[in-house]
Amino acid sequence: MSDTEHRTGSDTGGTPDLPVTRPVALISGGSRGIGRAVALRLAEEGYDISFCFRGDEQAAALLEKELTALGARAFAARVDVTDAEGVRGWVTRTEEEFGPVAVAVTSAGITRDKPLLMMSDTEWHEVLDTNLDGVYHVCRAVVYPMLKRRAGAIVTLASVSGLLGNAGQTNYAASKAGIVAFSRSLAKEVGRRGVRVNAVAPGLIDTDMSAVLGDGIKEEVAGRTALGRAGLAAEVADAVAYLASPRASYITGAVLPVDGGL
């Protein structure tokens, strides 16, 4: 195991002859924000968790400890989701360590907000490469094993920006709208083989990503929501956990806004 990969475990309470097995959830961008909240929520629901992170090893190590405390096995890998080979290696290693991936959640994402006239080519491509290509790389790596088993759930993280548009976010909105179309199309491809694909579209959520907006902008957006406030990462995680679960067994190709009525 490399120095950027970690695996922790706990006594699951089983016996050597009859071990207790937990389903496996794989989460991209899992060390912070919504991805972190999703990892904790799915661990509470009884999943072992494999997540990737790009740079914050301290946050990843802290999350591993929290997941272990919840009784989950945890596997963290430093992976850039723009790297297709790296993503495939992470998925393969996850299945070698923990078993087949039952749920995949694509949460890795970045912003490079700027009016189009001021946006550089690099700022456009960085956002599309991470947010949209990253979803493709993760889903491409997990979907074939799911199809072979005729079971699996994929939940992608889109955004209300991809549904409504947002000034200063042409790159981000385009990437998130692409995720919506990608998810709906993939759902139609794989549904007959027992694999479900849904998207969650958060609005203004109180995370590190939204912190850069400044209080004035956040207050203005919150004022336009029906509930009059920003959401919490845990509230998005609850929606993801529902769509990933058997409770949503007849839901696929859906886009669930978690935006306070924006």
Q: Which active-site residues does the annotation give?
A: 172
Helices (H), the chain: 33-44, 57-69, 84-97, 121-127, 134-149, 160-164, 170-190, 208-211, 215-223, 233-244
Query: How many C-beta atoms surround the C-beta of residue 83 within 10 A?
Result: 15
What is each CA distance from 86 to 60, 77, 83, 137, in whole angstroms? 17, 10, 5, 9
Closest residue by Cα to residue 45 from 21, 26, 20, 22: 22
Closest residue by Cα to residue 49 from 139, 33, 69: 69
Three-class DSSP category at 259: coil
What is each CA distance from 245 to 19, 166, 176, 229, in whole angstroms? 22, 31, 23, 28
Query: What's the longest Cα–Cα distance across the chain?
Result: 64
Query: How many C-beta atoms surround the C-beta of residue 261 within 10 A?
Result: 10
Ramachandran sector of residue 195 (left: φ over 0; alpha: ψ -120 to 50; beta: rest):
beta
Report the alpha-carbon distance of residue 172 to residue 186 in Å, rounded.
Answer: 21
